[in-house]
Structure 1
Amino acid sequence: MHPVIAQVTQRITERSKDLRAAYLARIEQFRGRPTRRGQLSCANQAHANAAAEPKTKIWLNQAQKPNIGIVTAYNDMLSAHQPYATYPDQIKETALRFGATAQVAGGVPAMCDGVTQGRPGMELSLFSRDVIAQATAVALSHDAFDATLCLGICDKIVPGLLIGALAFGHLPTIFIPAGPMGSGLSNKEKAAVRERYAQGKATQEELLAAESAAYHSAGTCTFYGTANSNQMLLEAMGLHLPGASFIHPSSPLRHALTDAAVERVISLTEQGNNYTPIGHVVNEKAIVNAIIALLATGGSTNHTIHWIAVARAAGILIDWQDFDELSAVIPLLSRVYPNGTADVNEFEDAGGPVFVMRELINAGLMHADVKTVYGDQGLAGHTRQPSLVQDHDGDKIEWLELPVESTNKDVVRSVAEPFAPTGGLRLLNGNLGRAMVKASAVPADAWTIRAPAKVFESQDALVKAFKAGQLNMDFVAVVIFQGPQANGMPELHHFTPVLGSLMSAGFKVALVTDGRMSGASGKVPAALHISPEAANGGPLARVQDGDLVELDVHTGVLNVLVPEAEFAARAPRVLRPSGVDGTVDFGRELFINQRRFVTAPERGASTLFID
Structure 2
Amino acid sequence: MNKTISSVTDRIRQRSAATRQRYLDGMARLAGRQRGVERMGCANVAHAVAAMPANDKLRIVAEKAPHLAVVTSYNDMLSAHQPYETYPALIRAAAHKRGATVQVAGGVPAMCDGVTQGLPGMELSLFSRDNIALSTAIALSHDVFDAALLLGICDKIVPGLLIGALHFGHLPCVFVPAGPMSSGLSNSDKAKVREQYAAGKVGREELLKAESAAYHGAGTCTFYGTANSNQMLLEAMGLHLPGSAFVHPHDPLRDALTEAAVERALAISQRGGSVEAGNLAPIGRVVDERAIVNAMVALLATGGSTNHLIHWVAVARAAGILIDWSDFSELSSVVPLLARVYPNGAADVNQFQQAGGPGFVIRELLDAGLMHEDVLSVNGTSLRPQTRLPVLAADGKSAAWQDLPPASGDEGVLRGAAAPFSPTGGLKLLSGNLGRAVIKVSAVPEDRHIIEAPARIFDSQEAMQAAFKAGELERDVVVVVRFQGPQANGMPELHKLTPPLAVLQGKGFKVALVTDGRMSGASGKVPAAIHVSPEALAGGPLAKLRDGDLVRMDGVNGLLEALVPAAEWAAREVAQIRPEAVDDNGQGIGRELFAGMRRNVKSAEEGAVTWL
User: Scaled by the length of structure 1, what TM-score is found?
Assistant: 0.98
Q: Which amino acid aligns with 1:389?
A: A
Q: Which amino acid aligns with 2:519?
A: M
Counterpart Cα distance in 2 of 1:300 and 1:11? 24
Question: Cα offset for 1:579?
Answer: 4.0
Match of 1:367 in 2: 372
Counterpart Cα distance in 2 of 1:226 and 1:501? 24
Residues 66/578 of structure 1: CA separation in 2 closer, same or farther (3 Å cut): farther
Counterpart Cα distance in 1 of 2:513 and 2:97? 55
Match of 2:601 in 1: 598
Match of 2:384 among 369, 380, 386: 380
Match of 1:553 in 2: 555
- Residues matched between the structures, number: 606
Match of 1:588 among 588, 591, 603: 591
Question: Cα offset for 1:36?
Answer: 2.1
Match of 2:445 among 443, 446, 449: 443
> Which one is further off, 104-113 or 44-53?
44-53
Question: Cα offset for 1:482?
Answer: 0.3
Counterpart Cα distance in 2 of 1:248 and 1:225? 17
Counterpart Cα distance in 2 of 1:398 and 1:601? 41
Match of 1:293 in 2: 298
Q: Secondary structure at the match of 2:393?
A: strand
Matches within 5 A, 1:337-486: 337-376=342-381, 378-391=382-395, 395-486=397-488
Contact 2:253 2:397 in 1 (8 A): no
Match of 1:498 in 2: 500
Q: Deviations over 1:152-210 (max 9, x none)?
A: 00000000000000000000000000000000000000000000000111110110010
Match of 2:267 in 1: 267
Match of 1:516 in 2: 518
Match of 1:328 among 303, 326, 333: 333
Match of 1:25 in 2: 25
Q: Deviations over 1:509-564 (max 9, x none)?
A: 00001000001110010001001110000110111111100011000011000111
Q: Which amino acid aligns with 2:410?
A: N
Counterpart Cα distance in 1 of 2:379 and 2:138? 27
Give the share of equivalent positions with the same residue, in percent: 64
Contact 2:482 2:516 in 1 (8 A): yes
Question: Cα offset for 1:39?
Answer: 2.0
Q: Secondary structure at the match of 2:150?
A: strand
Q: Deviations over 1:259-311 (max 9, x none)?
A: 00000101111437422100000000000000000000000000000000000
Indicate yes or no: 2:76 matched with 1:76: yes
Counterpart Cα distance in 1 of 2:187 and 2:171? 39
Contact 2:362 2:387 in 1 (8 A): yes
Q: Secondary structure at the match of 1:29?
A: helix
Q: Secondary structure at the match of 1:323?
A: helix
Structure 1 gap ranges (5+): none
Match of 1:85 in 2: 85
Contact 2:257 2:398 in 1 (8 A): no
Question: Cα offset for 1:42?
Answer: 1.4
Matches within 5 A, 1:86-101: 86-101=86-101
Q: Secondary structure at the match of 2:439?
A: strand
Match of 2:307 in 1: 302
Contact 2:432 2:561 in 1 (8 A): yes
Match of 2:534 in 1: 532
Q: Secondary structure at the match of 2:451?
A: strand
Q: Which amino acid aligns with 2:542?
A: L
CA RMSD of aligned residues (A): 1.0
Match of 2:178 in 1: 178
Indicate yes or no: 2:136 matched with 1:112: no
Contact 1:266 1:272 in 2 (8 A): no
Q: Deviations over 1:31-76 (max 9, x none)?
A: 2334223222211111111111232222133261111110000001
Contact 2:252 2:397 in 1 (8 A): no
Counterpart Cα distance in 2 of 1:297 and 1:52? 45
Match of 1:543 in 2: 545
Counterpart Cα distance in 1 of 2:39 and 2:441? 52
Residues 320/159 of structure 1: CA separation in 2 closer, same or farther (3 Å cut): same
Indicate yes or no: 2:232 matched with 1:232: yes
Counterpart Cα distance in 1 of 2:570 and 2:33? 60
Indicate yes or no: 2:250 matched with 1:245: no
Q: Secondary structure at the match of 1:336?
A: coil
Counterpart Cα distance in 1 of 2:103 and 2:281? 20
Match of 1:311 in 2: 316
Counterpart Cα distance in 2 of 1:533 and 1:91? 44
Q: Which amino acid aligns with 1:172?
A: P
Deviating 4+ runs (over 4 angstroms): none
Q: Which amino acid aligns with 1:588?
A: R
Question: Cα offset for 1:452?
Answer: 0.3
Q: Which amino acid aligns with 2:563?
A: L
Match of 2:276 in 1: none
Match of 2:197 in 1: 197
Counterpart Cα distance in 1 of 2:476 and 2:305? 27
Residues 413/296 of structure 1: CA separation in 2 closer, same or farther (3 Å cut): same
Contact 1:580 1:595 in 2 (8 A): no
Q: Secondary structure at the match of 1:253?
A: helix
Counterpart Cα distance in 2 of 1:26 and 1:98? 31
Match of 2:142 in 1: 142
Counterpart Cα distance in 1 of 2:504 and 2:402? 47
User: Scaled by the length of structure 2, what TM-score is found?
Assistant: 0.98
Counterpart Cα distance in 1 of 2:270 and 2:355? 38
Contact 1:37 1:143 in 2 (8 A): no
Question: Cα offset for 1:27?
Answer: 1.3
Structure 2 gap ranges (5+): 274-278
Q: Deviations over 1:558-588 (max 9, x none)?
A: 1000111112222221022134444533111
